[in-house]
Amino acid sequence: MDLLTNHNQIFIWILYFFIYAFLGWIVEVIYHVVKQGKFVNRGMLAGTICPIYGFGSVMLAYYLYPIRDNIGLLFLGSAFICTFLEFMAGFILDKCFHKRWWDYSDNKFNIGGYVCVEFLLYWGIGGLILIRDIHATIVNLVGLIPIRFLIIADIIFLLIFIIDWVSTVQAILKFNKKLKLLSEMREDIYKLSDKVGAGVADRALDVMDKAQVLSEFTRRERRVFKAFPSMRENRYREAFLELRERFDELQLKQKIKDR
């Protein structure tokens, strides 16, 4: 399959990406329903896709489908390709946004908290199932779609994906700005508490009022806090933990209220 010379193949593989990104989102949701007993939109994006699953599945299908009958090599290839992608995704997100969206630091045999042996085994088993039991069905189903409709679908999905990605990045940057302001306000309060003079109390209350306003959560922030309970903040750790604590308190109050 030469993607560079067969343009139709490019559109077919783009659709594979979105199909597997959606299936990956379903897997994440089911995993956390079993683990936490409740539905959580686990994607980093607002939409119902997990791009890392799309990229990983497409890579596995493209490179490993030809060796699908070699179970040992297929398992190892799946495990290491997916683990490498997970490491790179976690590392890049950490360095770009200063956050750990997932953290395996408490798992044995982890590398920097980005990956661990336990999930390496999961990726290997998942790759076996994908290549041997799922991909051929996906190929057959996509093959039934006329190329014109397939191209239109790709364009629509790509536009939605780009809009979602841009809005997500903007929301993260805005959240980082909020954390920075809260961190600066915390420092101001500490400084004011060490001083004595007229108007100090009023200034302290003014800072606290602003902090209270900043502590209000947007819809996207609430979703991210729910979806990534182990998220870690690297730059403004205390301000983030304060927001996390406030969010957990609000969630507990809501549960009591709903009873």
pLDDT bracket for residue 214 (50, 70, 90): low
Would residue 167 count as lying in a domain? no
Q: Do residue 95 and residue 124 come from a single domain?
A: yes
Phi, psi angle pair for 116, to nearest 5°: -150, 165
Q: Do residue 184 and residue 126 come from a single domain?
A: no
Total number of domains in the chain: 2
d(CA 176, CA 216): 14
More confident residue, 50 or 242: 50
- Is-contact 102 230, C-beta < 8 A? yes
Length of the chain: 259
Range in 16-20, 67-71, 210-214 the model is least confident about: 210-214
> What integer is the mean pLDDT of 36-60?
86
Which of 106, 132, 159 delimits the end of a domain?
Answer: 159
pLDDT bracket for residue 19 (50, 70, 90): very high
Q: Do residue 193 and residue 116 come from a single domain?
A: no
Would residue 2 count as lying in a domain? no
Would residue 169 count as lying in a domain? no
> What integer is the mean pLDDT of 51-72?
94
Q: Do residue 116 and residue 11 come from a single domain?
A: yes
Cβ burial, residue 27 (10 Å; 0-12/13-18/19+): middle
Would residue 196 count as lying in a domain? yes
Phi, psi angle pair for 134, to nearest 5°: -110, -45
Residue % of the chain over a pLDDT of 70: 85
What pLDDT shows up at residue 39? 77
What pLDDT shows up at residue 198? 46
Q: Do residue 32 and residue 135 come from a single domain?
A: yes
d(CA 24, CA 202): 52
Q: Name every residue whose Cβ is closer than 8 Å to that of residue 49 and which is 6 or more positions away in sequence.
A: 18, 21, 22, 24, 25, 43, 161
Residue 32 sits in which domain range? 7-159
Would residue 165 count as lying in a domain? no
Q: Do residue 155 and residue 198 come from a single domain?
A: no
Residue found under tokens 């239109």: 152
pLDDT bracket for residue 213 (50, 70, 90): very low
Would residue 37 count as lying in a domain? yes
Q: Do residue 124 and residue 223 come from a single domain?
A: no
Q: Do residue 101 and residue 187 come from a single domain?
A: no
> What integer is the mean pLDDT of 181-197?
65
Question: For residue 55, how many other CB atoms are within 10 A of its CB?
Answer: 19
Q: Do residue 130 and residue 193 come from a single domain?
A: no
Q: Is the pLDDT of residue 200 over 70?
A: no
Which of 125, 159, 193 delimits the end of a domain?
Answer: 159
What is the per-residue pLDDT across 84-102, written as a single tens digit (0 to 9) for each?
999 999 999 888 888 888 8
What pLDDT shows up at residue 205? 44
Which of 107, 133, 159 delimits the end of a domain?
Answer: 159
> What integer is the mean pLDDT of 28-47?
80
Residue from 148, 155, 217 nearest 182 by CA: 217
Q: Do residue 34 and residue 134 come from a single domain?
A: yes
Mind spelling out the 3-state secondary structure of the chain?
CCCCCCHHHHHHHHHHHHHHHHHHHHHHHHHHHHHHCCCCCCCCCCCCCCHHHHHHHHHHHHHHHHHCCCHHHHHHHHHHHHHHHHHHHHHHHHHHHCEECCCCCCCCCEECCCEEHHHHHHHHHHHHHHHHHHHHHHHHHHHCCCHHHHHHHHHHHHHHHHHHHHHHHHHHHHHHHHHHHHHHHHHHHHHHHCCCCCCHHHHHHHHHHHHHHHCCCCHHHHHHHHHCCCCEECCCHHHHHHHHHHHHHHHHHHHHHHC
- Is-contact 247 225, C-beta < 8 A? yes
Q: Name every residue whose Cβ is closer than 8 Å to that of residue 70 and which is 6 or more positions away in sequence.
A: none
Q: Do residue 41 and residue 133 come from a single domain?
A: yes
What pLDDT shows up at residue 193? 57
Q: Which two three-digit tokens encode residue 62?
A: 């493209």
Q: Is the pLDDT of residue 156 over 60?
A: yes
Would residue 153 count as lying in a domain? yes
**Which of 21-35, 117-131, 185-199 reaches the highest mean pLDDT?**
117-131
Q: Which two three-digit tokens encode residue 53?
A: 């699953």
State which amino acid sits at residue 127: G
Q: Do residue 139 and residue 230 come from a single domain?
A: no
